[in-house]
Amino acid sequence: MSYFVHESSYVDDNVTIGDGTKIWFFCHVQKGAIIGKGCSLGQNVNIANNVKIGNYVKIQNNVAVYEGVELEDYVFCGPSMVFTNDLTPRSKYPKGSAGYKKTLIKYGASIGANATIVCGHTIGKWVMIAAGAVVTKDVPDYALMAGVPARQIGWVCECGSPLKDEFVCSECNRIYSLVAGSLVEQ
């Protein structure tokens, strides 16, 4: 086995786990899930049926990644953040997977502790979602989001530093421009 699963965790049959991935205490990976290489799943993480997780994804403690959610490479999910997959859930009238809304978290995006991502949206690449934010709409690449509901409060560099008006990162010197309302690296 080229990955690590703690003895207190359970991995169903028909799961794919990439090289170097570590699955820590009290996790459950359900059937059909695909987890890339070099990932880390903290304590008490649940990966639902048929979820796809890219390479080098870090999922902190107490996170459930529900069916319908996809995480691209290098996504960071902070402790106790929440994904949903049904906009109108009823215990008496379950929809099953056919009723789940798709949610895509793109390359390099980071979601802060206790944030909530309401289903049916795309979170752009290198986005930074503040702790406790509630995301209720699509988020453009490099956006810095905070609040309830989450609003864009600025832009953030690939390295994670907030960008000033000149769109030059003070930490790594990457240069960006605003083109038709979208941030692009030069």
β-strands 16-17, 34-35: how paired? Answer: parallel
CA distance 32 to 159: 33
Check residue 55 and give its pLDDT. Answer: 98
Q: Which two tokens stand for residue 68?
A: 């319908």
What 155-163 contacts at long range (C-beta under 8 Å, 24+ apart), as own/partner pairs, is 155/183, 156/126, 156/127, 156/128, 157/126, 158/108, 158/126, 158/185, 160/110, 160/128
Q: Does the reported pTM lie above 0.95?
A: yes
Q: What pLDDT tens digit does each residue of the chain (186 aa) get?
A: 699 999 999 999 999 999 999 999 999 999 999 999 999 999 999 999 999 999 999 999 999 999 999 999 999 999 999 999 999 999 999 998 989 999 999 999 999 999 999 999 999 999 999 999 999 999 999 999 999 999 999 999 999 999 988 899 999 999 999 999 999 999
